[in-house]
Structure 1
């Protein structure tokens, strides 16, 4: 990778970390899309996961007191199951289109469902199943943010709780992806410099994003959240078609 490509990706990582910090989502899938232009396909998901691990970890540390402990607990019970199953599936999986299509349908339902249909406001214990599916998607697709986002379209959580809790869920997924891809034979050492550059950019972006989050009104945050989710929906549609 040239120095120019690395610099461009670092700027994208900075911007997307700001976006995730202030809107709670949108940064991960945007970074994944940008990385497809310069990162070899076999390295795409593991490198993206490492960058997002650092970005989400910094967000967690800044919003630690707002994390919803029950959601995190039940999510962590289900997450390893999904990761283990996906690690076995990925060797024989011929197409990644199906998970993307299912994710597209889920986000579409959350954003555009008729009012008479039930919202995706799950009881906290049901995040066990969210953890299982997030583990599957984390290995097979890479970005889990849009999937998790639909379960946080709820008014019983403050904006800081949404961003902080979603960050620790995503951090957990990305953390377990490292041993999974080591098991599959990926060599992280070959990309040490790129990982360090993206880590610094992500930390700076997260600090700025969380700083802005504290100053955004709740109603503005929820609007930004839906806009970011809609942007992710369009991006998923593009990935499915192409």
Structure 2
């Protein structure tokens, strides 16, 4: 574990250097690493300790660059949203939201191929009320995943902020969110001793990163800053997609089996069968419980269950036809199939 903490510490310094250069993204880079060390439910706590410290240190370093107009539109709407998101973490699997975030980040690929003149003319300031919507969404996503960074970096660029302004304004907008999240995570018991120590390691690394990155930013042009930012969004999205997909496959036993004319997609305890036959066309079959049968078939099921040892039920969907039902009835290991 000591080796993992050291690697996390060094990786955090590099990630938050990259975060400052790109206008965000360290959190999304660290999520796949923390997923390997912690349960998904406590990853946001560990990550938030580090991002809160990072925001405080960046405010100290770049405070003169904060855009207060954006701050006063963003924060009031983000606070109630982060309360909702942090509360829902007990009921929502963060991995699925991380998967959505990954696709959203990867969607920035076209921005990588824009020419310089497009960067200069296309980035028009959006209406102020858009900031309220962004603030709410940022708070909600941050409450569940513990990270927002690059996800909303594109909107800061749309408002025409320069690189130092993006770093400073983001830090000011998010510091309150991170503090509120820490209080909520602790009150809900969504933390552990290991998560605390990993969070403290990230926190120390972010301070080192914040106070050294100010010597790097002046050497970057605005155009290069934007390109690096969009590149980081795409790379973080791909990394998050791979790491989160693997975790979902393991936790929910997601799998695909292809045999002859049918394919079986399994998720948790459910199998979805996709079958193709030249005479019947494409069929999708889903296992169901007896309670899901129509009333006229429940009577049939009740009569059959008194005779057969085991009965499996499937609902069959076919194109342009009403759903049908199949009864797989076993007695003395012999199968009898009925279709209604």
TM-score calculated relative to the size of structure 1 = 0.85
Whether 1:238 and 2:236 are equivalent positions in the alignment is no
Task: Name the SS for the 1:186 alignment partner.
Answer: coil
Matches within 5 A, 1:140-151: 140-151=144-155
Whether 1:184 and 2:215 are equivalent positions in the alignment is no
Cα deviation per residue 1:106-147 (whole Å; 9 max; x = unaligned)?
Answer: 4455543799xx979532332111111111111212221122
What residue in structure 1 maps to residue 26 of structure 2?
A: 27
Distance 1:239 1:121, change over 3 A: farther
CA distance in 2, matches of 1:121, 1:108: 23
Assess if the C-alpha contact under 8 Å between 1:159 and 1:221 holds in 2. yes
Q: Which has the larger radius of gyration?
A: 2
CA distance in 2, matches of 1:64, 1:153: 19
Whether 1:112 and 2:116 are equivalent positions in the alignment is no
CA distance in 2, matches of 1:167, 1:126: 19
Superposed CA RMSD in Å reads 2.7
What residue in structure 2 maps to residue 57 of structure 1?
A: 56
Cα deviation per residue 1:199-225 (whole Å; 9 max; x = unaligned)?
Answer: 221111122222201221222211211
Q: Say which structure, 1 or 2, has more relative contact order (CA 8 Å, 6+ apart).
A: 1
Task: Name the SS for the 2:55 alignment partner.
Answer: helix
Gaps of 5+ in 1: none
Assess if the C-alpha contact under 8 Å between 2:46 and 2:196 holds in 1. no
CA distance in 2, matches of 1:85, 1:40: 21
The count of aligned residue pairs is 238
Assess if the C-alpha contact under 8 Å between 1:18 and 1:210 holds in 2. no
Gaps of 5+ in 2: 247-340
TM-score calculated relative to the size of structure 2 = 0.63
CA distance in 1, matches of 2:216, 2:46: 27
Distance 1:192 1:183, change over 3 A: closer
Task: Name the SS for the 1:10 alignment partner.
Answer: helix
Q: 1:171 aligns with which of 172, 175, 178?
A: 175
Structure with the higher strand share, 1 or 2: 2
